[in-house]
Amino acid sequence: AQSVTQLDSQVPVFEEAPVELRCNYSSSVSVYLFWYVQYPNQGLQLLLKYLSGSTLVESINGFEAEFNKSQTSFHLRKPSVHISDTAEYFCAVRKYGGSQGNLIFGKGTKLSVKP
């Protein structure tokens, strides 16, 4: 079975500082990897995804994540955060093929950006 660990439950940073939200996964099979963001009182929105190919993936709002197979990690980074990035971020995995195609989520990391 797959599992996801987000090592930090809360990450406070100042505006314009860099940030890294950590995600490690455990799986005996190949997986697809995702980062979702949840703004207060809203549902989840897909931020970025790794399916295959280049191990570095980017979102339209400046976030990036790198798939590291040897370390089973998919950390999310942004070189300079804005107040509007304050949200909860969820890392998720999905198994290649088979019947268990549902997403497995980590427990989330609350990013708090302070002025």
Cβ contact 91:6 at 8 Å: yes
DSSP per position, 17-51 = --EEE--EEE-SS-EEEEEEEE-TTS-EEEEEEE-
Q: Which stretch binds other proteins (CB under 8 A): 21-29, 58-66, 71-79, 96-104?
A: 96-104
| Choice from 15, 32, 72, 110 touching other proteins (CB under 8 A) | 32
Residue closer to other proteins, measured from CB, 63 or 108 = 108
Q: Which stretch binds other proteins (CB under 8 A): 17-25, 43-51, 54-62, 79-87?
A: 43-51
